[in-house]
Amino acid sequence: MAIRIGPAGTGGNSIDKLKELKELGLDAVEMEFVRGVVMSNELAGRIKEENKKHNIVLSIHAPYYLNLASEDKVKIEASKKRILDSCERGHHMGARCIVFHAAFYGKLSPEECFQQVKNEMLEMQEVIRKNNWEVILCPETTGKRSQFGDLDELMRMMEETGCGICIDFAHIEARHNKEPDYNALAKKIKAIKNLHSHYSGISYTEKGERRHLPVDKVKAKKLLSALKAEDIDITMIIESPDTWGDAVMMKRLERSL
């Protein structure tokens, strides 16, 4: 099993940066579509072709402006379009995991929100199947209690729809206002296939996530040790303010364990 580590965003020309990632010893990168899907299918295809030389694991973070449980049906359809546009680029790029923050609870109960998100997920999966896109939807664990995306909710969503999930370890800490028991968490997620994750330092209030911080090396070592102890195969994208620098640090730390 392997722990693949890389940054969120290329920080420049996506094609040229693939070689640099490999030279730094990194294994992955997440293409950031968080402000909108502006990349063409043609450019996505060129990235895929270049990546044949480097074998970097690619993923995509879909736009932030999503809510699959909105009271406004127009906003739901717009949200699905942004996710599906990301899926289309991901297919042409060779990026399998399409990560997104699925919804806010709003006036819905957690169960009502779950069912709403599930219905929209199933509709999007049907579009993916019809287009033969080789991608998997990966809703992310969220850092605020007002957001849909507790780990148990997403593991249930995975069981009921066959989707993947993205485990943001920092978000789990922020959502519950305490550092996770990494050993227990690693055991809980061990059986998940297509395991994709995010990591960073994080500050939070009683309501949850406030902002991302540099990686805490002590916490990072505990997390990596727990993942290795369970022999977990996982891709980990670093979302700290210094995403490239902390990714290199994390990779060196992982190799030292």
Q: What pLDDT tens digit does each residue of the chain (257 aa) get?
A: 799 999 999 987 889 899 999 999 999 999 999 999 999 999 999 999 999 999 999 999 999 999 999 999 999 999 999 999 999 999 999 999 999 999 999 999 999 999 999 999 999 999 999 999 999 999 999 999 999 999 999 999 999 999 999 999 999 999 999 999 999 999 999 999 879 999 999 999 988 899 999 999 999 999 999 999 999 999 999 999 999 999 999 999 999 99
pTM (global) more than 0.85: yes
d(CA 102, CA 109): 15
Tokens read off for 2: 């392997």
CA dihedral 110, 180, 211, 177 (to 10 degrees): 60
Share of the chain above pLDDT 90, in %: 93
Closest CA to 85 of 119, 102, 68, 62: 62
Question: What Cα–Cα distance (Å) separates residue 124 from each residue in 18, 76, 141?
Answer: 30, 12, 19
Nearest to 59 by CA among 117, 2, 8: 8
CB 208 within 8 A of CB 174: yes
| DSSP-assigned beta bridge partners for residue 59 | 30, 97
Give all domains of the chain, ordered by start, each with its CATH number: 3-256 (3.20.20.150)
Q: Please give the pLDDT value at position 11.
A: 81
What whole-number distance in Å separates Cα of residue 18 and Cα of residue 48? Answer: 10
Crossing angle (nearest 10°) for helices 41-51 and 14-23: 20
